[in-house]
Structure 1
């Protein structure tokens, strides 16, 4: 069965996926797969931009989102017209002919991936470009995947992506719908800073930065780079940490750093002459 995989570490926010989807579906009638997508108001694949941290320690993450083509799709179970079905390849389709415009599927989708076309009085969403996959031997992937310049977005058989999936996450795991869209690099909390020597008026390169979770005892370690910066990423939400900075026998401890938000600690002085 087919899956989508998304590697956020190489998504550069170019919006090619979103534009390609619009190009393929706006003003094009692909019945029985889909009626035309409105030119505004719907993004069958869209992109969110999340900015985290404090200047100068800032991260930006771009996250493509689409229909999750769930194995346990509530939209299928709740559809009163039997207009929504799951294909043998795992793609979920809303039949635009059978849809009666009751809006139940749009209301029940926990991923907010179903849109309602007021003009046509039908529900609509990502089709996986099945009109291409079924009818054109040259097409093996949806338009969004084909247009992704970094290959952050990929599509294929589940077995083909087994190594990716075993380390991946779901965008909305709490929904419990058995999504077929898998992500790597979803944003986690981070603590960052710049270590410098106020006496020498230079950044400190190669210092060991050890972060300890005050409750679990788990530790994270980094070294400062050529700019004196350190980034301790992949941290849990709402945790409390102790940070120890050390270089050539000189150390500095910062206690009770919380990850209720992503923490940019700014410039941290550590006098190497002491």
Structure 2
């Protein structure tokens, strides 16, 4: 059974996958796999740009999104014309000659991966370039995978990609559709800031930074770098944390840091006294 696997840590947002898909399917009729994709309005694989944090601590993540080729695909169940089927290799196909344009599949898909072609009155989506896999011995992967310059996109047998899959996640796990699209390094919440000495008007290098998850008690540790910056990455959503900063006997505590969003705590002055000072955190409060 085939699977798609995407490593977001090496996706640089070049859009080659999206362009390759357009090149392969726009103005090309691959019936019975798919009829031509419209010039505009549809991206059978598309890049979502996710901008996180607040200036100056900002990160941009790129997430390729496409059909999940689900093992438990609600679109197949909802199709009244038997136009949608799952192949033995795991790819889910919408037969353009059987589709009646009822739109039930597009309305049902929890991953928003099915599009409607108004001109042809049919539903359309990623086919995994099944027309190439079936009819051209030179092609072992879809066009999007072939054109990925960083090899962020992979396609192959589930067994061959088992080492990737064991550490991977689903993009939309709550849908419970048994997706065959696996992701590594999906964006997680971060907390960042810059520590400085207000008297010396210099950043503080090598300060101990300890972040505690108030619910689980889990501890995260790092130190400020040569720019006085600290970063805590990979944090869980909607959790409350307490941050303790320490350098040369001086301590500062910031409480009630909540990861409802990615947080830049701005410029944080280290108080010139040894007793801890507590205060709630607000994005950019020290900027």
Into which bin does the TM-score normalised by the smaller protein fall? over 0.9
Partner of residue 123, structure 1: 123
Structure 1 unmatched runs, 5+: none
Quote the offset at 1:202 in angstroms.
2.1
Partner of residue 30, structure 2: 30
Quote the offset at 1:71 in angstroms.
0.2
Q: Is the aligned partner of 1:2 residue 2:32?
A: no
* Higher relative contact order structure (alpha carbons within 8 Å, sequence separation ≥ 6): 1
TM-score normalised according to structure 2 size: 0.92
Superposition RMSD in Å: 1.4
CA offsets 1:176-218 (integer angstroms, 9 cap, x no match): 1000001112121111001122233222222221100112211
Q: Could you tell me whether the CA contact under 8 Å between 1:132 and 1:142 is conserved in 2?
A: yes
Q: How does 1:234-253 map to 2 (within 5 A)?
A: 234-253=234-253
Q: Could you tell me whether the CA contact under 8 Å between 1:199 and 1:273 is conserved in 2?
A: no
Q: Could you tell me whether the CA contact under 8 Å between 1:208 and 1:221 is conserved in 2?
A: yes
Partner of residue 170, structure 1: 170
Partner of residue 215, structure 1: 215
Aligned to 1:159, the other structure's residue is in SS state: coil
Partner of residue 57, structure 1: 57
Q: How does 1:15-164 map to 2 (within 5 A)?
A: 15-164=15-164
TM-score normalised according to structure 1 size: 0.96
Q: Provide the rounded CA distance (Å) in 2 between the counterparts of 1:201 and 1:273.
A: 16
Partner of residue 187, structure 2: 187
Q: How many residues align?
A: 274
Quote the offset at 1:18 in angstroms.
0.5
Q: Could you tell me whether the CA contact under 8 Å between 2:252 and 2:271 is conserved in 1?
A: no
Partner of residue 196, structure 1: 196
Quote the offset at 1:271 in angstroms.
5.3
